[in-house]
């Protein structure tokens, strides 16, 4: 876990502490300790994310009332996610709970994101739940698809590339998840590779690719394994 990530997550977790058990953290800023330190970097030492991203386990209306009681205010409200601000200026994005969507695929992915988690201790007194890497891949691809932006313009694609490039155990972990989730992830990876810009997007995302283009190949190979390609 980077110092920056801790500095972002800890004040957010502290601010929403009464509702902390009603969210699961799903942003790239919450999974830095999954990443191999010597792996090809996608970002520099400071993450560019300015908000912690979470998935609600209850309705947004219910958790909203608890956040107001905790001193937060809602800054943005969409159909499926909200952005809240703590009294100290930290931001938290809260995506809707599994029951908040009528899309069965999206509901399934959110259900697994809530179920397949681990506990991350930020301090001896403050811990958060973080979704498993395989579900993060699925969630980030789903959010990218809903935004209907090109891969070269979507930060969530960078998040996926970072996860694939820096978490070597990801392919094995995807093999271990339930079949319906694994099928979605494989289809997503195949869709990524089918885009003509895929390798260019990977090369642009990896900071070391400018000097050593060969670092792209292992990441492409990992995507191919995830997609189920030979």
- pTM assigned to the model: 0.88
**Exposure of 126 by Cβ count < 10 A (0-12 exposed, 13-18 middle, 19+ buried)?**
middle
Q: What distance, in Å, lies between the first and last C-alpha atoms of the chain?
A: 34
Edge-to-edge strand list for the sheet holding 127-131: 73-77, 81-85, 91-95, 51-56, 23-25, 127-131, 117-121
Please state, in angstroms and as integers, the Cα–Cα distance from residue 23 to each residue in 60, 71, 177, 186, following that order. Answer: 10, 17, 21, 27
pLDDT at position 3 is 59
62-96 pLDDT, tens digit per residue, is 999 999 999 999 999 988 889 999 988 889 999 99
pLDDT at position 113 is 95
CB 26 within 8 A of CB 131: yes
**Exposure of 27 by Cβ count < 10 A (0-12 exposed, 13-18 middle, 19+ buried)?**
buried
125-148 pLDDT, tens digit per residue, is 999 999 999 999 999 999 999 888
| CB within 8 Å of 99: residues ≥ 6 apart | 59, 107
What angle do helix axes 155-166 and 198-205 make, rounded to 10 degrees?
Answer: 80
142-199 pLDDT, tens digit per residue, is 999 988 888 888 889 999 999 999 898 999 999 999 999 999 999 999 999 999 999 9
Q: Structural domain boundaries of the chain?
A: 3-227
Residue 168: CA atoms inside 13 Å, Cβ hemisphere, count? Answer: 6
Task: Give the closest residue to 208 by CA, choosing from 219, 198, 223, 197.
Answer: 219
Please state, in angstroms and as integers, the Cα–Cα distance from residue 218 to each residue in 66, 116, 173, following that order. Answer: 45, 27, 18
- Whose tokens are 């000097």? That residue is 211
34-44 pLDDT, tens digit per residue, is 665 554 555 54
Element at 84 (helix H, strand E): strand 81-85
Query: Rounded to an integer, what distance in angstroms lies between the CA atom of residue 138 and that of residue 173?
Result: 13
Task: Give the closest residue to 215 by CA, choosing from 164, 173, 157.
Answer: 164
């Amino acid at each position: 876990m980077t110092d920056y990530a801790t500095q972002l997550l800890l004040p957010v977790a502290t601010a929403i502490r009464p509702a902390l058990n009603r969210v699961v953290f799903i942003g790239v800023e919450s999974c830095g300790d999954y990443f191999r330190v010597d792996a090809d970097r996608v970002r520099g030492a400071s993450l560019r994310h300015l908000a912690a991203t979470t998935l609600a386990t209850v309705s947004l209306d219910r958790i909203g009332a608890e956040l107001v009681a905790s001193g937060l205010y809602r800054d943005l409200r969409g159909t499926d996610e909200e952005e809240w601000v703590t009294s100290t200026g930290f931001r938290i994005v809260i995506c809707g709970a599994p029951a908040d969507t009528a899309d069965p695929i999206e509901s399934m992915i959110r259900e697994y994101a809530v179920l397949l988690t681990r506990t991350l201790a930020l301090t001896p007194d403050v811990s958060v739940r973080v979704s498993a890497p395989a579900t993060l891949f699925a969630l980030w691809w789903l959010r990218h698809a809903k935004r209907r932006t090109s891969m070269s313009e979507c930060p969530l694609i960078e998040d996926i590339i970072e996860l694939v490039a820096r978490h070597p155990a990801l392919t094995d972990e995807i093999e271990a998840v339930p079949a319906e989730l694994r099928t979605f992830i494989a289809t997503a990876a195949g869709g990524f590779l089918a885009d003509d810009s895929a390798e260019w997007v990977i090369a642009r995302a990896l900071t070391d690719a400018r000097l050593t283009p060969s670092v792209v190949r292992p990441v492409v190979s990992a995507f191919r394994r995830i997609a189920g390609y030979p």
